[in-house]
Structure 1
């Protein structure tokens, strides 16, 4: 279908390096004077989570295959408009655990 308008929804992803096994929370934020319901979190074209009122997606424990391009979408209601909106996609990269150096005996 036609692309949905973007602008009022923002997907917040932590800026620190994401390591395998960690817990990370993605937040779907809306603009100040609006309400959002029926939030969907997607990785690429695949729906990860669909919830009526949850605006956070917790990934725990993080796995390498959680990497990808994420966005959230939802039904946004404000004083001037109502309709489906989606956030700009945000890349999520999960790093493998750092290898421990081998101690030579």
Structure 2
């Protein structure tokens, strides 16, 4: 790990990252980075690849032998929300409060069935 270095915020908010830190972190000239606030004067700079890898690592993997279908998952979630809203509007709060699953058991299969595939 490289020792901390001191730099200044320049014109238009630009900050120069010391070459030693760039080498240590694998950042290269022209590479896109994500910059975010860590609060209280802390600025976090990460490569796009690092952020993508962190998101992928945090994602729940698909069950063995199946492929994850994000579109079907979003549609199933929306369908469940619509069903829940319908139940709430028509006075069937008990089903919603009891935590009854309102969406299809397997959103991917449900989508294929609805598309007659």
Greater helix content: 2
TM-score (norm 1): 0.20
Max radius of gyration: which structure? Answer: 2
Q: Which has the higher contact order (CA 8 A, sep 6+)?
A: 1
